[in-house]
Amino acid sequence: MWLRFVVILLLLLPHQSSEQEMNFTLPGQLASFLDRIGCVHRLHAITIVNSRDSISADYLDGLHRQLRANGSMHFQLLPQMTATDAHARVRFSALQDEDSLYVVFARDSRDPVIQLQAKRARGRRYSKTLFLLQKEEPLPALEEFFKLLWQLQFRSALVVVALRFFYQMDPYPKLRIKRLSHYDLMEIFPPSNSRNLNGYELHLPVQLDVPNTFWSQDTLNHEWRLDGAGGVMLNQLMAHLNVSLKVYPLSVNGSQWLNMPAIIELIASNRIELSVHLYDTMQASKRVDYSYPVHLETRCFMIPKDNEISRTLYVLLPFQWSVWLSVLLTLLVVHFLGVRRFVPDSQLWALMGVPGCRLSGCYQHHVHRTVSCYLVLFGICLIYQLYSTKLTSFLTVTLSHKLASSLEEILRLPYPILAQPLDVQHIVGSFGHAEEFGRMFSLTDAQTFARRRLNMAPGYIYPISRLRWKFYNRQQRSLKTKLFYLSSLCHGTFAYQFQLRIDSHFKDPLHRFSLHVQEAGLTNVWLDRCYYSARRLGYVREFTTAEELLKDVRPLALNLMAPAFSLFMFGLLVSFVVFLVEIRPQSCCRKASSNSSTH
């Protein structure tokens, strides 16, 4: 019993000894504080940054001396860096790893050294940072200061005012300032909590970008609900992190359709933390951070598909024009050379059943003439058989031209390419042919572009990514003749990414989450499901065969019987011609028989 009590006492002792009253009036006090922090958190480096007049030179000297004073000091042999030049571009992240301690001396809460530190420490905001403000400040000014620190994403900051008063923030669920009187070394820089944000309120402006973001309004409490491939992913992540989302539609210049430059501007100016718009980044901005790519897709063209051949031309189609020409030539040769000249009594046409020619009784049996006559007959039957077989098979299907697939073929198409300026840049950048493309482009604003493309408005070629096409293409799946097809000509690989504030605290959880989502293959499942909710909410519509029929009015659309019917009509036409010729008695054969009688 006593032994146990002693053990507990021993365990408690070091904990209690680390709690002590703090003030940094002497450099030695600060040095020993830094030393303990370095020991406890196993830091690998220390960086001291100061602005002019924020600290006396003596104090700074003293601090440096004390940090190296004796062998038991944690930072004695570790790298120390003092940053001075405001114009140096080098970032701390290029020189130091994450386990570093930053000590920033500033005159007050509006000292530019704070912004400078934010710029230099890009990618290192999780590092422990100690801000020492020289002047005493009232609490509201301090609140503003912490708000700024939070916006600049300093995750692990301790603020010391006038070397005596210690403040810390607890950002979740709402930003709160904590005054410290004693310190516990482990708690003074708490480990970053990235799993449970305690109901942190995230205000999210959303713009329309089907299929990645769209929204619906709850009929009961009138709250906006986020939907779409990117929206579902973010909903899941935020539920996972215990963040409460406050979604609201954002309208820029009177349009709710996605305006990426405006979103980037909102993030860069610290007005929003995160954008839900999963977007194929074509031009990355340096003023925001991007998530890992959720998809990698190429961009292709969505081309109107009107390649059907008119049914009236089917009669001519079985043979190419060269074949038709040679058939005609052969017939002429057979008629004028064979029938007229060499074997006038072969009665070939009569055997063929050409109307008006009758077999005459005086039929002479010359063997070679009969054989050649039957050979020609055989040839003609063969050609006729070929023709009728092909025609019948054509009538049972719908024939179409070859679709344009190569760059030259696409450039020859009669449609303009509806595009936005950025698209133009990328298309010409990857395919060249600036002049030819220049003639085809028809520039428009984001809203018109997005709406026309989503509604599959005919008459234009649209640049589109493969992923989006997969979604849009479903709208026309029940059409017999599709409205659009995707070109096989594509360019680039573009990454679908979310946009975040630089070094946002959501970045790491988002990265981890998106990796899990990818591993599980959930993105495809979500995209599938989004189609149905988008259809239910009226963002997409399914084109139906009824519309197709209405479009080109065909009152007598006997679809099933049409081929048989047209074949029947063709037969009737031929019989009619035969009949017309037949009532003119033996016009063609009379000459032949009179010829043969003169021989």
Ligand X SMILES: *[C@@H]1O[C@H](CO)[C@@H](O)[C@H](O)[C@H]1NC(C)=O
Binding mask 32-61 for ligand X (x = CB under 6 A): x--x--------------------------
Instruction: Kindly state whether residue 262 participates in binding ligand X, applying the rule CB under 6 A.
Output: yes
* Residue placing its CB nearer to ligand X in the complex, 62 or 492: 62
* Residue placing its CB nearer to ligand X in the complex, 196 or 392: 196
Residue 131 Cβ, how far from ligand X at the closest point, in Å?
19
* Residue placing its CB nearer to ligand X in the complex, 73 or 348: 73
Strand 45-50 and strand 80-83: the pairing is parallel
| Calculated CA dihedral for residues 495, 497, 503, 507, nearest 10 degrees | -120
Residue 455 Cβ, how far from ligand X at the closest point, in Å?
23
Residues 117 and 89 sit within 8 Å (Cβ to Cβ) = no
Find the binder of ligand X among 17, 72, 84, 396 (CB under 6 A). 72
CA-to-CA distance for 306 and 548, rounded, in angstroms? 13
Asked if omega into 463 is within 30° of 0 (cis), the reply is no
Instruction: Kindly state whether residue 69 participates in binding ligand X, applying the rule CB under 6 A.
Output: yes
Of 70-78, 123-131, 275-283, 307-315: span binding ligand X (CB under 6 A): 70-78
* Residue placing its CB nearer to ligand X in the complex, 49 or 206: 206
Instruction: Kindly state whether residue 259 participates in binding ligand X, applying the rule CB under 6 A.
Output: yes
Instruction: Kindly state whether residue 196 participates in binding ligand X, applying the rule CB under 6 A.
Output: yes
Phi/psi for 312 (5° steps) reads: -70, -20
Q: Radius of gyration of the chain from Cα atoms?
A: 42
Instruction: Kindly state whether residue 162 participates in binding ligand X, applying the rule CB under 6 A.
Output: no
Find the binder of ligand X among 12, 16, 25, 571 (CB under 6 A). 25
Of 192-200, 213-221, 492-500, 567-575: span binding ligand X (CB under 6 A): 192-200
Find the binder of ligand X among 112, 191, 199, 432 (CB under 6 A). 199
Residue 434: CA count within 13 A, CB half-sphere: 3
Residue with the CB atom nearest ligand X in the bound state: 199
Per-position DSSP letters for 23-53, written without gaps between them: --SSHHHHHHHHHHHHHHHT--EEEEEE-TT
Instruction: Kindly state whether residue 148 participates in binding ligand X, applying the rule CB under 6 A.
Output: no
Residues paired with residue 248 on neighbouring β-strands, in sequence order: 205
Residues in Cβ contact with 176 at an 8 Å cutoff, skipping those fewer than 6 apart: 169, 170
CA-to-CA distance for 159 and 132, rounded, in angstroms? 6
Find the binder of ligand X among 18, 93, 242, 330 (CB under 6 A). 242
Instruction: Kindly state whether residue 416 participates in binding ligand X, applying the rule CB under 6 A.
Output: no
DSSP classification of residue 404: P
- Kindly list the distances between the CA atom of residue 135 and the CA atoms of 32, 105, 176, in Å, as whole numbers in the listed order: 23, 11, 21
Q: Show the tokens assigned to 4.
A: 């146990």
Phi/psi for 7 (5° steps) reads: -60, -45
Instruction: Kindly state whether residue 598 participates in binding ligand X, applying the rule CB under 6 A.
Output: no
Instruction: Kindly state whether residue 141 participates in binding ligand X, applying the rule CB under 6 A.
Output: no
Residue 99 Cβ, how far from ligand X at the closest point, in Å?
21
Find the binder of ligand X among 34, 63, 252, 302 (CB under 6 A). 252
CA-to-CA distance for 151 and 285, rounded, in angstroms? 19
CA-to-CA distance for 109 and 134, rounded, in angstroms? 9
Instruction: Kindly state whether residue 70 participates in binding ligand X, applying the rule CB under 6 A.
Output: yes
Cβ atoms within 10 Å of 274's Cβ, excluding its own: 24
Residues in Cβ contact with 115 at an 8 Å cutoff, skipping those fewer than 6 apart: 152
Residue 161 Cβ, how far from ligand X at the closest point, in Å?
13
* Residue placing its CB nearer to ligand X in the complex, 69 or 588: 69
Find the binder of ligand X among 80, 93, 198, 270 (CB under 6 A). 198
Residue 66 Cβ, how far from ligand X at the closest point, in Å?
8
Instruction: Kindly state whether residue 275 participates in binding ligand X, applying the rule CB under 6 A.
Output: no
Residue 15 Cβ, how far from ligand X at the closest point, in Å?
19
* Residue placing its CB nearer to ligand X in the complex, 258 or 456: 258
Instruction: Kindly state whether residue 597 participates in binding ligand X, applying the rule CB under 6 A.
Output: no
Instruction: Kindly state whether residue 459 participates in binding ligand X, applying the rule CB under 6 A.
Output: no
* Residue placing its CB nearer to ligand X in the complex, 35 or 137: 35
Find the binder of ligand X among 173, 318, 416, 492 (CB under 6 A). 173
Instruction: Kindly state whether residue 76 participates in binding ligand X, applying the rule CB under 6 A.
Output: no
CA-to-CA distance for 102 and 130, rounded, in angstroms? 6
Instruction: Of 448, 462, 450, 470, give the one whose Cα is nearest residue 531.
Output: 470
Q: Show the tokens assigned to 206.
A: 């959303």
Instruction: Of 580, 589, 577, 598, give the one whose Cα is nearest residue 349.
Output: 589
Residue 262 Cβ, how far from ligand X at the closest point, in Å?
4
Instruction: Kindly state whether residue 322 participates in binding ligand X, applying the rule CB under 6 A.
Output: no
Of 53-61, 191-199, 493-501, 510-518: span binding ligand X (CB under 6 A): 191-199
Instruction: Kindly state whether residue 269 participates in binding ligand X, applying the rule CB under 6 A.
Output: no
* Residue placing its CB nearer to ligand X in the complex, 36 or 466: 36
Phi/psi for 340 (5° steps) reads: -75, -40
Residues paired with residue 130 on neighbouring β-strands, in sequence order: 103, 158
Residue 288 Cβ, how far from ligand X at the closest point, in Å?
15
Phi/psi for 10 (5° steps) reads: -65, -40
Residues paired with residue 217 on neighbouring β-strands, in sequence order: 224
Instruction: Of 388, 333, 378, give the one whose Cα is nearest residue 351.
Output: 378
Residue 185 Cβ, how far from ligand X at the closest point, in Å?
14
Residues touching ligand X, count (CB under 6 A)? 18
Q: Which residues bind ligand X (CB under 6 A)?
A: 23, 25, 32, 35, 69-70, 72-73, 164, 173, 196, 198-199, 242, 252-253, 259, 262
